Amino acid sequence: MIGSGFFKSKVENYFPKTPIRFNKRLVKEGDAATATTATTATTTNTTTTTTTTESTTIPELIKSKIKEFEKDYTFYVNPLLSSGHTQTAYTALNKFESRNLVYYKRQIITIEDKTYTLPNGTKLKYDQWKGESTVALDYAMKTPVTPDPDHLRFRPSSQQEELPPRTEFKNPEEELIENTDDKPLLIVLHGLSGGSFEAYIRAVLEKIIEDPYDFDAVVLNSRGCAHHTITSPQLYNGLWTNDVRYLMNEFVTKKWPKKRIYMMGFSLGGAILANYLGQEASAVSPQIKGACMFGTPWDFPDGAHHLRASIIGHNVYSPTMCANLLKLLNKHGILTENEFVKQYRDDPSKYNVKFLKDFDNFFTSRLFGLNSADEYYRLASPVQRLLKVRVPTLIISSVDDPVTGSRSLPYSESELNPYVTMVTTTVGGHLGWFTWNGERWYTIPVCKFLKELDQLDVDKSSITKDDLPLDISQSWKYDRLVNGMLDASTTEQSEIVEHTD
């Protein structure tokens, strides 16, 4: 692996047996994409559009356009960052304040007391707090940015904390993103207790919002993260997908109905994104055209075991993640409306909360009505929903990731689901992937990937029912194996009982 004084990281990829096919999408005349794809022109009263019969797949796209994701591609890493642990430590201990200088405008979004409807007609609320909850949405700004010294006049009264660097409150009357189809929108989800300020996010955003990619981009900060002040007595977790759902249903698709949307999640944000897309399944918004997930923990129980089994994981990573979550818990007084949080805040010495699993046992599980960390871990594992994803999805992980491990990477799911592609590296750590010159390997190729994907539309006719994973709802229902055993005369009544429990 050694060459010219540096180490190499090697790429492997995993494709489905029958990958979904894409056609070149309809584009307005004059768009750069038409220059190489014009075959037939159709004129209407308002615009001229161009269509093509070109067809491709993700494996073909990677081979022809994105060599960094090809099998056996290698990139150099500095010898000082030649392991998963050093890559992870480097990204965790550095703020990278002299590079990736992305500027944000922040909008506080209230989770209104509304319901959404499941495909079977069931109505659910977005949360239980009757319009008290808020999240922080940060708009990535193209450079140059002139700071607004008076931006605090737009700060909501509920928000008490200082904002992260290069972040200002947005003027509510200012429209930063236009409702047009000429620029796609990227929505980013951060990792555990992180936020838009994280360098692993900024490294992508500083490139993708500028030429030649020219995306609009926003970061959804989870409750209490990125210096957002919590306004209802609830945190978040890997299974809490309703803030993403609210953002999509009640904000993005209503405010920008013409936008083509791409989503990106890092670490826990990748788990939330995968869980959301898997829950939405074929009912997912047609505006969502693709997704990328980095360093995602796919199997939470296995990840918890992996952390405990490693000396560094048990004594460094797990206590650090626990401490970061405790800071959130202690910072937001409204959380003491939960009696068990109040008891902890009154006398922390009575509780032995040192490791990540301790926090999830005492707080995460109970905040969401679950019994234990183990129960939460089993329910939250996104690997069990990946087969239901119906959005072109790129998974990027490193097999030396010391936080998530690699035993539970979704190898079989990547083979079975036509919409899923997985790329792995031998060296990269957890959200690291630092090359010999300090840049992150994934930033340019993922920007290229999304740019290429934005020129395409999924050809759903290229996939038949036989190409998709089995729908196990025909075999697994009511917490039982029921394949071929359902009584059609009682199914309808059973559904009614199930929905009203």
As annotated, the active-site residues are 267, 401, 430
- Residue from 152, 166, 203, 189 nearest 444 by CA: 203
User: How far is it, in rounded angstroms, from Cα 226 to Cα 201?
Assistant: 13
At 91, which amino acid appears?
T
Give the E-state strand segments of 287-405 in sequence order. 288-294, 393-398
Q: Could you tell me which of 274, 279, 313 has the C-alpha nearest to residue 295?
A: 274
What dihedral angle (degrees, nearest 10) is formed by the CA atoms of 296, 380, 201, 458?
Answer: 80
Report the amino acid identity of residue 394.
L
Handedness of CA 66, 70, 73, 78 (dihedral sign): positive
* Total count of residues recorded for the chain: 501
Which tokens sit at 147?
């700071």
Give the list of residues 6+ apart from residue 134 with CB closer than 8 angstroms, or none: 108, 109, 110, 111, 156, 158, 223, 228, 230, 231, 232
Torsion of CA 220, 226, 229, 235, to 10 degrees: 70
List, in order, residues 6 or more apart from 181 with CB less than 8 Å away: 258, 259, 260
DSSP type of residue 222: P
Which secondary-structure segment (H or E) carries 442?
none
SS3 state of residue 13: strand
Q: Please enumerate in sequence order all residues whose Cβ is within 8 A of that of 213, keeping only pairs 6 or more positions apart, or say none.
A: 207, 447, 448, 450, 451
